[in-house]
Structure formats: C-alpha cells, structure tokens
Chains A and B, each alone.
Chain A
Amino acid sequence: KNEVEQSPQNLTAQEGEFITINCSYSVGISALHWLQQHPGGGIVSLFMLSSGKKKHGRLIATINIQEKHSSLHITASHPRDSAVYICAAGGADGLTFGKGTHLIIQP
C-alpha cells in the first residue's frame, strides 16, 4: 500500500509570497495528482502529472519519479488561494491521498 506524506500540514503566509508544498510517496505510481479543497466545498483537480513539470497560471507542479517526490508551488500568492491542498498517488485503481496542507494567505 502506498504511503503518501505531505508537508507542511499547516502553512500561513502573507499575500505575494512564494508557496511550496511537498509530497512524497513510497511506491511507484502511474500519476501524481494535486487537488484543492475549499472549506465546505468540493475537491477540484489541479494537476495530474507522471513526469517533469506542469504550469497553470500561478500554479506549478513538479515531480521527481526517482525520488518519489512532488512539489506544488504557488507564485504571487493571494488570499483566494487559501484552501487545503491534497496530493494523491495514483495506482492501477484508486488514489491514495495525503492528509492535506491547510494553506492560509493573509492580506
């Protein structure tokens, strides 16, 4: 069974700061997912990547398959980025989720 660890668990930063959230997993995967969950809201898929790097707006996700590690970066962070960010390791069937990183961006 895959073990997925995220760090930090909680992160509070000022508006404009560069944010990095880390994720490591124990077993080889087919894809790594980054998800966003707002309080009381549903889960939105941000990225799915199996190698290299992806960018969407101010969000960047990278993965190192050899080291079994992925990072999610947010540039020029904004209060509306405040949410729980979850990484999930995709295998042959469902996803194994990390516990999430609770991000608060203060104005």
Chain B
Amino acid sequence: GAGVSQTPSNKVTEKGKYVELRCDPISGHTALYWYRQSLGQGPEFLIYFQGTGAADDSGLPNDRFFAVRPEGSVSTLKIQRTERGDSAVYLCASSSGGSLNTQYFGPGTRLTVL
C-alpha cells in the first residue's frame, strides 16, 4: 500500500492569499497529524485528528490556520491571509492510533509566501 502523500509538493503564493494543503494518510490510519518545519528547525506540532475530530489543535499558531478531516481520511490544512512568516515545510503524518503507534510521515509541502 501507498504511504502518506501530500499535495502539492511545492506551493508559492503571495502575501494575503489563501492556500489549502492536502494530506492523504495511509489507508485505515485513524490518527493524523500536521506539523510545520521552518528552515534549520525541528518540526513543530500543529494539530492532531483522531477520526474526523480534532483531538488537539493547540499548536495552530493563530486563527488564520484551520484544518479539517470530514470523512476521517483525507485532511486539508487551510491558511487564510498568508504571511511571509508562514513559509515552511508542512508535514503530515498518520498512525494507526494512540501515542504508542509509529507515525508515518509524508514528503511535506514546501510553502513559500512572497
């Protein structure tokens, strides 16, 4: 089976625009995580879904960021009114559930806000 996929792989946008980043987790994985990695830094947690619901969204930096997972599979991370500081690699990971399960990472989406 396929691993975690993310689209697009690269996204360049202008300051103030709206972007959507998509994550397709491994089939059957109930847990889905979004992380953000800035250049030279380790990833930082954004939001965690268990099924369709956001179990923890405490890592979202502000209300411009929003994520959904309406059917418990594919997830979309949405960023409104993008700012240059949003430029980073956005990583998605999925697991079969629970903190004792290995997380499988996607290749990431590199977002550049000009």
Contacts and interface: CB of A to CB of B under 8 A. Distances in A.
A97 B99 contact: no
A42 B99 contact: no
A93 B99 contact: yes
A41 B107 contact: yes
Query: Which of B56, B103, B108 gathers the greatest number of chain A CB atoms within 10 Å?
Result: B103
Category for how many chain B residues contact A: 20 to 34
19 contacts: A30-B99, A41-B107, A42-B105, A42-B108, A43-B43, A43-B93, A43-B105, A44-B105, A48-B100, A48-B101, A88-B43, A94-B45, A94-B59, A95-B35, A96-B45, A97-B35, A98-B42, A99-B41, A100-B41
A95 B103 contact: yes
Nearest to B101: A48
Contact of A33 (B46, B48, B59, B103): B103
A96 B55 CA distance: 16
A86 B103 CA distance: 14
A94 B55 CA distance: 10
Given A43-B91, A94-B47, 15 more contacts: A33-B103, A45-B103, A48-B101, A50-B100, A91-B99, A93-B48, A93-B55, A93-B99, A94-B33, A95-B33, A95-B103, A97-B35, A97-B44, A98-B42, A100-B42
A97 B43 contact: yes
A105 interface: no
B104 A45 contact: yes
B100 A95 contact: no
Interface in A41-67: 41-45, 48, 50
Given A93-B48, A93-B55, A95-B33, A48 B42 contact: no
Category for how many chain A residues contact B: 20 to 34
Given A97-B42, A97-B43, A98-B42, A90 B105 contact: no
Nearest to A98: B42
B25 interface: no
A31 B105 contact: no
Interface in B91-114: 91, 93, 99-108
